[in-house]
């Protein structure tokens, strides 16, 4: 099930990238498609094509987030929680040996 959801997630992500790049930017210089004129062969007017691309992008974004949530819920319910380090008893350690003392340094009064 996780593999299927990951595959769907990847397809949606690629489609989102394509549809975002097809949209015309506000400045008109960054978008790949959607230029003025009848380049689309009369299928869409420039305004209708922009509305369709925007609507499709919104639907793909919602689908992306829904699949993300489904994937997170699926993983959260299939994996057992990891043991906390606070639940384990502290390890017994050997006593620390003191280093040999050097000459005493007088302290100023």
Question: Per residue in 47-102, pLDDT tens?
Answer: 667 788 889 999 999 999 999 999 999 988 887 767 777 777 777 777 777 777 77
pLDDT in tens, 7-60: 999 999 999 999 999 887 765 544 555 555 444 444 566 666 778 888 999 999
Closest C-alpha among 64, 108, 15 to residue 23:
15
Q: Give domain status of residue 57, yes or no.
A: yes
Residue 22: what pLDDT? 87
Q: How many CB atoms lie within 10 A of CB 19?
A: 20
Query: Contact at 8 Å (CB) between 57 and 23?
Result: yes
Q: Is the pLDDT of residue 6 over 70?
A: yes
pTM over 0.85: no
Q: How many domains, in total, are found in the chain?
A: 1
Q: Give domain status of residue 53, yes or no.
A: yes
Q: Give domain status of residue 76, yes or no.
A: yes
User: What DSSP designation does 55 have?
Assistant: H
Residue 97: what pLDDT? 75
Burial environment of residue 5 by CB neighbours within 10 A (0 to 12, 13 to 18, 19 or more): middle
Q: How many CA atoms lie within 13 Å of 99's alpha carbon, on the beta-carbon side?
A: 3
SS3 state at 50:
helix
Residue with tokens 């499709």: 56
Q: Give domain status of residue 14, yes or no.
A: no
Q: Give domain status of residue 40, yes or no.
A: no
Q: Give domain status of residue 86, yes or no.
A: no
Q: What is the rounded CA–CA span in Å between residue 81 and residue 73?
A: 14
Q: Give domain status of residue 69, yes or no.
A: yes
Residue 103: what pLDDT? 75
Instruction: State which residues form the domain around 64.
Output: 47-80
Q: Give domain status of residue 36, yes or no.
A: no
């Amino acid at each position: 099930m996780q593999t299927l959801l990951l595959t769907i997630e990847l397809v949606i992500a690629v489609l989102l990238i394509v549809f975002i790049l097809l949209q015309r930017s506000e400045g008109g210089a960054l978008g790949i498609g959607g230029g003025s004129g009848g380049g689309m062969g009369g299928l869409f007017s420039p305004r209708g094509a922009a509305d369709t691309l925007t609507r499709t992008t919104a639907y793909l974004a919602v689908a992306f987030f829904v699949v993300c949530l489904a994937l997170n819920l699926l993983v959260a319910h299939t994996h057992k929680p990891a043991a906390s380090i606070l639940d384990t008893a502290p390890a017994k350690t050997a006593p620390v040996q003191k280093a040999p003392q050097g000459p005493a340094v007088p302290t100023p009064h």
